[in-house]
A and B are shown apart, each in its own frame.
Chain A
Amino acid sequence: MSLVDGSPVNSSSSDDFAAFLDAELDSTSDTIPQEEEEEEEEEKESDDDDTNSLVQRTKRRKISVLDGSEALNGSTSHMDQIEVLDGSEELNGSTSHIDKIENFMYKLCNACELLCSETSVKEDICTHPGFIGGMCIKCGEKIDNQSGVAFGYIHKDLRLANDEIVRLRDRDLKNLLRHRKLYLVLDLDHTLLNSTRFSDITQDEGYLMNPDDPMQDTLKGSLFKLPFMNMVTKLRPFVHTFLKEASNLFEMYIYTMGERAYALEMANLLDPGRVYFNSRIIAQGDCTQRHQKGLDVVLGQESAVLILDDTEQVWVKHKDNLISMERYHFFASSCKQFGYKAKSLSELRSDESDADGALATVLNVLKQVHSMFFDRELGEDFAGRDARQMLRAVRSEVLKGCKIVFSRVFPTKFQAENHHLWMLAERLGATCSTEVDSSVTHVISTDIGTEKSRWAIQENKFLIEPRWLEAANFLWQRQPEERFPVKEVKLKPLTNTQ
């Protein structure tokens, strides 16, 4: 037992206790050291006589109270003129009045706890699983190194070591699977909602700001003016139903490239009761890499995460988890930002369809993936499954059985297999080919006059424009080919390419 400097009496009394414990423990074993045997006898003697032991105990208490007050004074002596609220006079007087000792028992306890905590820290080496404000979350030790991943969205100074993240994910996944849930990471802008600044509102959108306009009734509950942020936000149709149903199947995160204050405000609009997201809101400042979103700050096993986002490029490392969303452009400024010339939904005074809009479509996909993941026919062991495989399987059903040939879609010297449309078609379950033959079902072309296009017309195959693929990707369904005919290319661009 190591003696702690400055409190010899106290540590000797705890030494006594340790010896007593040792003796108690050793009494069951065969070999008893000479010294401890003696001590044991001593303890037994004192136990024989009740009054005697009581006296001894009170004596001990007195001693340790003295010591405890010393320690207290010592620890607080750096403060100016301190007076312990219970009264320092009482403290001094306590040594002479046994009945007052009890008042100070809790202080004694504190002193003991201090001793214990110090020794226990010394005894087992803490692995420091994480830090909060420079303190280890397990042992409370102050450590300056800034290793580990920052989890600013849980607490501003929280950092976790990699081992701890793995442990948490493991534990959380088991818990989640028991509840038959997966993780769902949601983007905000253009996925769940669309925002614009007051200053960017065009003349045609002016009715949005007019409380007397007849449109206000239909927009009620989905259009929000936030004067303190100078912003107007429109929630995507169906979003409330979407969140409600998805929350039964998934533990949801918000992950946005916007600022934290904005993210919290939007979460408030989407989830006023704070039942869906809790504190799982990740904003720009929490990302570990610039201009990239990563699942490293999500406390969920990658194999059980699905992502909904309109921007594919930010999820470079997690493409398999991603479900691309068709961008939701309600405001004119948003259309302009992405280079659309057409009038925005707000200017046309219309909106996405509620019942079969993008969110309703994707909810069905999510349900499908979820039911595949938790399919009982495949056994009861869910831990080994991978939601990414399920997603891939669902996606590959979309264009199953189609054989596609591209014509004047890729630049001449481009490796066809690496083009994003080629890869997209394959992800959707179609087979791609560079040459036409009788098994080909679709020709995707930008020009009606190419050799392959003419072949398609002649052979009565579908001749469609590339948008057909993108539409199938967003809507998770093979689209009617008639809606995507290849338009005749005007003469001017043709002369340019020659």
Chain B
Amino acid sequence: MFFHIVLERNMQLHPRHFGRDLREKLVAKLMKDVEGTCSGRHGFVVAITGIENVGKGLIRDGTGFVTFPVKYQCVVFRPFKGEILEAVVSMVNKMGFFAEAGPVQIFVSNHLIPDDMEFQSGDMPNYTTSDGSVKIQKDSEVRLKIIGTRVDATEIFCIGTIKDDFLGVISDPGTTS
């Protein structure tokens, strides 16, 4: 799920940036530092949407660096157990398949793929129903349900399932909402 939240961060700025563009430099550095990172509490920081306020800078002794407390608004993405996500399949093997929903990697074990879908090896490995009407292979889009999440310092990893009603390959992209 996406959230729009306010976060705070202490930014250290080199004295060479002091001047007219100080604020821009600060924001640029903030974006570089924060966007794309991940924390267990908030999930992935997708984008910074605005700066709430920049606090008073504190000059550090000896180095000349200044620390500013910056409050900023950002969009974060955090998957939850039980959430339904749409994801793109990135790898298929005999164990199941891996899919990606933006920065989140999801593994769907073959225990959690409907029993009528069988693994087919070859140069384009895939899971196919016996009548061949449904096929999951690399770059397929699937709708899946998260049943477990694990958050590391730099990545979020999830276990998903497509063994449930209305889950699986999204055949018609127009119906996705």
User: Which A positions have Cβ atoms within 8 angstroms of B?
Assistant: 75-76, 78-85, 106, 109-111, 113-114, 117, 129-130, 132-142, 151, 154-155, 157-158, 160, 168, 171-172, 175-176, 179, 181, 251, 273-276, 278-279, 299
Contact = CB atoms under 8 A, between A and B. Distances in A.
B139 interface: no
Contacts of B170: none
Interface in B18-55: 41-42
Given A137-B159, A140-B159, A299-B94, A80 B112 contact: no
SS of B interface (majority): strand
Nearest to A157: B157
Given A110-B84, A175-B120, A181-B121, 7 more contacts: A81-B5, A84-B4, A117-B81, A137-B107, A137-B111, A137-B159, A179-B121
B111 A110 contact: no
Contacts of B93: 154, 278-279
B80 interface: yes
B150 A133 contact: yes
Given A130-B109, A135-B159, A175-B121, A80 B5 contact: yes
23 contacts: A79-B41, A82-B5, A84-B1, A85-B3, A110-B84, A111-B82, A117-B82, A117-B145, A129-B111, A130-B109, A132-B107, A133-B157, A135-B148, A135-B157, A137-B95, A137-B112, A139-B147, A139-B148, A140-B81, A140-B159, A142-B148, A278-B123, A278-B125
A81 B75 CA distance: 12
A81 B112 CA distance: 36
Contacts of B109: 129-130, 137-138
Given A85-B2, A113-B145, A168 B95 contact: yes
B3 A84 contact: yes
Contact of A80 (B7, B120, B146): B7
Given A79-B5, A129-B111, A130-B109, A113 B84 contact: yes
Contacts, number: 115
A-B residue pairs, 3 tightest by C-beta: A140-B148, A140-B147, A275-B123
B121 A176 contact: yes
Interface string B127-149: 00000000000000000011111
Interface residues of B, number: 41
Given A110-B83, A175-B121, A176-B121, A155 B94 contact: no
A78 B159 contact: no
B85 to A, nearest CB: 11
A80 B82 contact: no
Contacts of A155: 98, 107
B91 interface: yes
B70 to A, nearest CB: 14
Nearest to B118: A175
Contact of A136 (B41, B80, B159): B159
Contacts of A141: 148
A75 B125 CA distance: 39
Contacts of B147: 117, 139-140
Interface in B148-164: 148-150, 152, 157, 159
Given A83-B4, A139-B147, A155-B98, A132 B82 contact: no
A394 B80 CA distance: 57
A409 to B, nearest CB: 46
Contacts of A157: 157
A134 B107 CA distance: 13
Contact of A110 (B3, B82, B96, B123): B82
B138 to A, nearest CB: 10
A80 B121 contact: no
Contacts of B5: 79-83
Nearest to A84: B3
Contacts of B1: 84-85
Nearest to B96: A137
Contacts of B119: 171-172, 175
Residue of B42, B94, B125, B145 most packed against chain A (CB within 10 A): B94
Interface centre among A75, A139, A251 (most CB of B within 10 A): A139
A81 to B, nearest CB: 5
Contacts of A132: 107, 157, 159
Contacts of A154: 93, 95
Contacts of A111: 82
Contacts of A299: 94-95
Nearest to A121: B147
Contacts of A109: 84
Contacts of A137: 95-96, 107, 109, 111-112, 159
B6 interface: yes
A275 B171 CA distance: 26
Contacts of A110: 80, 82-84
Contacts of B2: 85
The CB with the most chain A CB atoms within 10 A, among B120, B121, B148, is that of: B148
A325 to B, nearest CB: 25
Nearest to A117: B82
Contact of B6 (A81, A274, A276): A81
